[in-house]
Amino acid sequence: MSYTVTIKEEISKIKSSNSELIAELSGYIRNNGIITNKKVTMTTENKQVVNHLVDSLKDIYDITPKVEIIENLNFSKNDLYQITIEDNLTKILENLGIWDNNSKYLGTVPNYIVGGNEEIRAYLRGVFEGVGSINDPKTSRYHMELLINKSKEAVFVQKLLNIFELNAKILSRDKGYMIYIKEAEKISDFLKILGANKAVLYFEDVRVYRDQKNKTNRLNNMEQANIDKVIQTATEQLRDIKVIEDNDGVMLLDDKTKETLEYRKKYPEASLKELAEIISLETNKPITKSGLNHRLRKIKDLAERFNKQKTND
């Protein structure tokens, strides 16, 4: 079962007031229904959503919509359910704020349908049940989307989402508009708004795990980068030492720098900080990282003089 299916099943079981059910039905039918003068048809693969819609229509309008299984053209193995409303069609569509008093389609739902926060949440539940999806955070990138046919409805739904500061955006598609959210925290907030509490817990558990894993990977990468840098620096210093020794140039160094040369050869994998600590401990002569770097610079300068001399010869 997909993550989207589990969310829709969870929110379709929420106990709602009549005003919330009206808002939810309005959001669903506006975005999932095919509306004519004679009937409204809606399709879904989710049996729980079907049961919820049928029960809501019975409770509020005392009708029993027709439900049938039709051919699924989306190459899905799941059954595709079609719900048809024919009885009291004008009354229902006017009451849901989909038609006006002259049976004309309203571009946006009237304010009284979404008059309070609970009704707004219910309307968004209906929209999501009809045309929404959220990627499973365990298997894919964070992404929530609503696919909406009409431009006015898309802008309206975006405004409703952004009442809750979800930073929802719209993209134009060939067959409509996609409202989407990509920020993990905002998607989690959206699930809370829908009332999908179990889905929120799952989402947050996965998000925390992924964030911790990413943090660990970043730290490991940083550590590896530091190790690589230490090895590269030490290799260059050992190369300089070999140049000096091949040219019998060790005697040109002062005693402290000679000492550093010997310690670098003895501890080739030590970082500059580690090498300074080792020398300080073993010689009982404290030396800072900066001081050690100054000595190693003398070694490098001498090696460069020998290399330059060899090039001129």
The pLDDT value given to residue 294 = 94
Element housing 115 (H / E): none
Range from 69-78, 129-138, 266-275, 277-286 carrying the lowest mean pLDDT = 69-78
Query: Going by CATH, does the domain composed of 3-195 fall within 3.10.28.10?
Result: yes
Q: Residue 269 pLDDT more than 90?
A: no
Tell me what percent of the residues of the chain surpass a pLDDT of 90: 71
Tell me the backbone φ, ψ of residue 167, rounded to 5 degrees. Answer: 55, 40
Ranges assigned E (strand) in 8-164? 34-35, 40-44, 66-70, 80-85, 132-134, 144-148
Q: Residue 53 pLDDT more than 70?
A: yes
In this predicted model, what pLDDT tens digit does every residue of 183-239 receive, in sequence order? 999 999 999 999 999 999 999 988 888 778 777 778 777 878 887 888 888 899 999
The pLDDT value given to residue 76 = 64
The pLDDT value given to residue 20 = 96
In this predicted model, what pLDDT tens digit does every residue of 246-265 receive, in sequence order? 998 899 999 999 999 999 99
In this predicted model, what pLDDT tens digit does every residue of 55-77 receive, in sequence order? 999 999 999 999 998 877 766 66
The pLDDT value given to residue 226 = 80
**What is 243-296 written as a DSSP string?**
HHHHTT-GGGS-HHHHHHHHHHHH-TT--HHHHHHHHHHHHS----HHHHHHHH
The pLDDT value given to residue 74 = 66
Length of the chain: 313
Of the pLDDT bands very low, low, confident and very high (cuts 50, 70, 90), residue 313 is low
The pLDDT value given to residue 8 = 96
d(C-alpha 95, C-alpha 30), whole Å: 13
The pLDDT value given to residue 143 = 93
The pLDDT value given to residue 211 = 76
Q: Residue 45 pLDDT more than 70?
A: yes
Residue-averaged pLDDT of the chain: 91
CB–CB of 130/140 below 8 Å?
no
CB–CB of 307/300 below 8 Å?
no
The pLDDT value given to residue 221 = 79
Residue 176: strand pairing partners: 173
d(C-alpha 4, C-alpha 132), whole Å: 8
In this predicted model, what pLDDT tens digit does every residue of 5-25 receive, in sequence order? 999 999 999 999 999 999 999
Other C-beta atoms lying within 10 Å of the C-beta of residue 53: 28
* The token pair that represents 154 in the structure block: 């898309």
d(C-alpha 304, C-alpha 198), whole Å: 67
The stretch 100-128 carries a mean pLDDT of 94
Backbone angle region of 202, left / alpha / beta, with phi > 0 → left and psi within -120 to 50 → alpha = alpha
Of 235, 244, 233, the residue nearest 302 (C-alpha): 244
The pLDDT value given to residue 75 = 62
* The token pair that represents 48 in the structure block: 């729980």
How buried is residue 57: exposed, middle or buried, by Cβ count under 10 Å (0-12/13-18/19+)?
A: buried
Other C-beta atoms lying within 10 Å of the C-beta of residue 32: 21
* The token pair that represents 260 in the structure block: 């550093």
Domain(s) labelled CATH 3.10.28.10 in the chain stretch across 3-195
